Amino acid sequence: MLINNFQELQDADFLNGVTVLVDKPLEWTSFDVVNKIRFTLKKKLGVKKIKVGHAGTLDPLATGLLIIAIGKDTKLIDKYQNLDKEYTGSMILGASTKSFDSEFEPEEFYPVNHIDKVLLEKVRNEFIGLIEQIPPKYSAVKIKGQAAYKLARKGIDFKIKKRQVEIYGFEFLEINIPEIIFKVKCQKGTYIRSLINDFGKKLNSGAYLSSLRRVNIGEFNIKSAFELEELIKKLSEN
């Protein structure tokens, strides 16, 4: 059962199955959100166990829509995960980082004087449709059972296989070089950080993701999401 407002939240049968949409705050992991909600519900309901899961990880430096399934609704997680995603974000041209985003300071710098709107449009079109990409080494992709980012932080060398994903739409909302505001609609499993890193290379320059916000998962929209702080406050009420 999808909960859309605080009144429904107060009357919800969490153990029987509830789905809520949450606006994940900056610097929280998706797992942090799940843990916070699980802890709050256990205390509210007076139970030792309750199933809580999310459908589609967001990086700590990304904000936006997170589908949280509770109780019997956790059986729907696979269905939710298969839905298409839509993001808005910003990129910085002329530099790259080892995480492909702003977690680390730029370590390489490139010229941008040759980049104009004609080149941007030409390269943008090359990234619409089926493309191949390699997930960032600083990601949760599993390498022999371990998260890639844990190996990367230890300085262990490894390779990640290419994967095919589909980009349904890639639009520029605002161009103010070196910054570009964009929107992307894509298949599940797409790494926007890799998309932006590869986009920079195709420009004969560089680029990294400076902000990201997930606004849609299938038909679910960020406008229907609860702010996490308000959600926790309401769940804590008797």
Q: What pLDDT does 99 receive?
A: 93
Q: What pLDDT does 137 receive?
A: 87
pTM score of the predicted model: 0.92
For the chain, domain boundaries: 2-82+221-236, 85-217
- Of residues 119, 89, 87, the one with CA closest to residue 102: 89
**3-class DSSP state of 132:** strand
Please, are residues 193 and 58 in contact by the beta-carbon 8 Å criterion? no
Give the other-Cβ count within 10 Å of 191's Cβ: 21
Bond before 178 cis per omega within 30 degrees: yes
Q: What does the alpha-carbon distance between residue 61 and residue 29 come to, in Å, rounded to a whole number?
A: 8
Q: What does the alpha-carbon distance between residue 209 and residue 190 come to, in Å, rounded to a whole number?
A: 14
Q: What pLDDT does 238 receive?
A: 63
Q: Residue 59 catalytic?
A: yes
Q: What pLDDT does 103 receive?
A: 92
Q: What pLDDT does 73 receive?
A: 95
Q: What pLDDT does 219 receive?
A: 95
Give domain 85-217's CATH number out of 1.10.287.3510, 3.40.50.2000, 3.90.850.10, 3.30.2350.10: 3.30.2350.10
Strand partners, 133: 163
Stated as kind and residue range, the H or E segment containing 118 is: helix 117-126
Q: What does the alpha-carbon distance between residue 76 and residue 152 come to, in Å, rounded to a whole number?
A: 33
Q: In tens digits, what is the pLDDT along the chain, a chain of 238 residues?
A: 888 888 888 888 888 999 999 999 999 999 999 999 999 999 988 999 999 999 988 999 999 999 999 999 999 999 999 999 999 999 999 999 999 999 999 999 999 999 999 999 999 999 999 999 998 987 778 887 878 888 888 888 888 889 999 999 999 999 999 999 999 999 999 999 999 999 999 999 999 999 999 999 999 999 999 999 999 999 988 6
Structure tokens at 57: 């990880």
Give domain 2-82+221-236's CATH number out of 3.50.50.60, 3.30.70.580, 3.40.30.10, 1.10.10.10: 3.30.70.580
Strand partners, 207: 93
Q: What does the alpha-carbon distance between residue 231 and residue 233 come to, in Å, rounded to a whole number?
A: 5
Pick the catalytic residue from 23, 59, 101, 198. 59
Q: What pLDDT does 178 receive?
A: 97
CA atoms within 13 A on the CB side of 92: 15
Q: What does the alpha-carbon distance between residue 78 and residue 85 come to, in Å, rounded to a whole number?
A: 14
Structure tokens at 159: 């390779």
